[in-house]
Every structure is written in structure tokens, then in C-alpha cells.
Amino acid sequence: MRVPAKVNLALCVGPRRADGYHDLATVFQAVSLYDRLRARPRADGRICAQMTGEGSEQLPCDRTNLVVRAAWLLRERYPGQTAGKGVDLAVDKQIPMAGGMAGGSADAAGTLLACNRLWGLNLPVGELAELGAELGSDVSFLLYGGNALGLGRGEQLTPLAASGRLEWVFATAPRGLATPLVYRRFDEMADRGAIVPDAGLPDEVIEQLSCGVAERVAACLRNDLQAPALELYPELVQTLRAGATAGALATLVSGSGPTCAFLAADAAAADRLAAELPKHAPEVRDVRRAYGPVSGPSIVDRA
């Protein structure tokens, strides 16, 4: 199975709630950067994970790993149907780790779908999405893919119409940025009056997405976590500038960062941008081409 990453075309963040989370109004787009997930039954009833690829050496494979937690959650909620059933989960990571593209959430979404099938649960996706929200705010969206408006923590989803496809270049960074840290810095900035929390609906992005003109979408992209991410990771200012110099229509930090997203006018412009970018941004770890929207997790082979 392959599971896509996401970028937020709009990420409007409200004040911190009593539960520590923030109300969001976000426009998600699933993009063509994929982790690969293979799930095989285990006769001994154990839930085991193995991670390879991009940054995987930093990931524990114990019960703190999001794919292991996803499988456990399904088993705990449906003990009757899953009694004695185990799984071997192998994840090959291509989505940048701690990069603001929801790689961990994508893997958890893929695990829920894979185990649902493997263990014969046949739960509808809506039910998996409710479980997914307990694992992370982006998991529900990544079960569906496409484009969607996310409210609440981001888990209350409405699919959005889109025409055409957007051509992206992503620049990954040498180190990660922990999402809670970025939200904490957002709160600090709000306390000192540097930003005003506002989870109002990003109407313009939604409208332009349905029209599908990249230049117009570019003009209204918004990420309220960009300012705190830049305070925590000042080198990203240089990366964003490099994207503009290399011809991007719009530059923004992806989610909580530190991956930077660059929107191009079309596929040829995006290819040129991807080739140009490293010349202007030596601090970038890796440059990736992608497009969106793409559909959610899909089975690519049975190997």
C-alpha cells in the first residue's frame, strides 16, 4: 500500500483551547509523496513494526510508534473479531520525518486500512477516521486524501471540490521540527501580541481551489504556523527566499515545518524550479517534486 503526504493550502489557527489543542480551519491537499506500507498476518498474535528509508533510524519500533499504536487501537476496540490476530508492519519512508507533511499520520492511516482488511473487520472508512483522530489530528484526512476542509483539531472533514492539479516542489531540511514546539511558540507569539489567533474560514483558498488557476491559488495561500516555525528555525527564511528567486509562484512553510513548499505555474515550471533551487539554497537537505491532489492510501501490489 502507498500512503500520501499532505500540505496545508491554508492553516488558520485559533487560540489554545482548554485541552491544549488549537481550533483550526485548514485546507488539506494530499500530494504525491508516498510512504510504502506492507502488512502481513502473524500467527503468534504479536504486532511488530519495521521502518526503513528516510530518517527511519530515529524512529522507535515499540508501542510509541504511530503504526504500532494504530494496530493496537484497532485490536483494543474490536477485541472479539481480532482475538489472536497479529501483524507485521513494514514501512518504507519517503515522506520527510518531523517535516510538517504528516508522514507519521499517513503511516497510521495506512495501518488502519491495512489491518481493517487483514483482520476481516470491514469497518467503514468513517469509523476508521474516528479512531484515527485519537492517534493524530491529520490521520482522518489521510484516510481519504484529495482536498478537504478540516475544522476542530483538523479532524472534522468536508471534502472540497478542486479543478486541475497543483504542481509542487518541496525542500526538506537537515533537522526536524516538533509540532508541539511550534504550537507552543505560536502561543508565545500570541501572548506578546506578535500574532492574532484566528481560525476563521479560509474562503478565498477554497474558492480559488475550485477554479484551479495556480496563480490565483498562490495569491491566497496562508499558514499561521509559518511565523513561529521561522522563529524556531531562522534558516528557513533563506530557503523561502531561494524558492522565490528560483521562480516559485508562492512559497510557504508546510504545516508546522520545516519542509518548505513551493507552488509552480505548471509541471515544466516546477521541474525548472526543482533544478534551480539547490543552487540558491545550499542548506536544503533534499528537493522533491510532487503534485496534488492525489487520492488516499491505495494498494499498489500484493508483494
| Letter string b/e over residues 3-15, b meaning 16 or more CB atoms within 10 A of that residue's CB | bbbbbbbbbbbbe
Smallest gap from residue 137 Cβ to ligand C5P (A): 3
**98 annotated as belonging to a binding site for a ligand:** yes
138 among known catalytic residues: yes
Which of 85, 93, 107, 138 is an active site residue? 138
Q: Which is nearer to ligand C5P, 152 or 212 (CB)?
A: 152
Which of 6, 85, 107, 224 is an active site residue? 6
Q: Which helix (H) or strand (E) holds 156?
A: strand 156-159
The 10 Å Cβ neighbour count of residue 84 is: 8
Residue 302 DSSP code: -
Among 120, 124, 180, 193, binds ligand C5P (CB under 6 A): 180
**51 annotated as belonging to a binding site for a ligand:** no
Smallest gap from residue 167 Cβ to ligand C5P (A): 27
Closest alpha carbon to 206 in 149, 287, 156: 149
**97 annotated as belonging to a binding site for a ligand:** yes
**96 annotated as belonging to a binding site for a ligand:** yes
Smallest gap from residue 86 Cβ to ligand C5P (A): 26
Torsion of CA 154, 236, 98, 302, to 10 degrees: 90
Q: Does position 24 bind ligand C5P by CB under 6 A?
A: yes
Q: Which is nearer to ligand C5P, 205 or 246 (CB)?
A: 205
6 among known catalytic residues: yes
Q: Does position 22 bind ligand C5P by CB under 6 A?
A: yes
Give me 165's grid cell.
Answer: 492539479
> In the complex, which residue's CB is closest to ligand C5P?
137
Among 179, 226, 251, 259, binds ligand C5P (CB under 6 A): 179
> CA distances (Å), 206 to each of 8, 13, 202, 216, 273, in order?
12, 16, 7, 11, 26
Residues 6+ apart with CB under 8 A from 201: 12, 25, 149
C-alpha–C-alpha distance, residues 269 and 220, integer Å: 20
Q: Which is nearer to ligand C5P, 146 or 255 (CB)?
A: 255
Smallest gap from residue 214 Cβ to ligand C5P (A): 28
Span 227-256, contacts to ligand C5P by CB under 6 A? none
C-alpha–C-alpha distance, residues 202 and 56, integer Å: 35
Q: Which helix (H) or strand (E) holds 32?
A: strand 22-42
Span 109-168, contacts to ligand C5P by CB under 6 A? 136-138, 153-154
3-state helix, strand, coil in the chain (%, to 5): 35, 30, 35
**210 annotated as belonging to a binding site for a ligand:** no
Size of the site for ligand C5P (CB under 6 A): 11
Q: Which is nearer to ligand C5P, 142 or 248 (CB)?
A: 142
Q: Where on the chain is the footprint of ligand C5P (CB under 6 A)?
A: 21-22, 24, 136-138, 153-154, 179-180, 183
- Active-site positions read 6, 138
Q: Which residues are annotated as a binding site for ATP?
A: 96-106
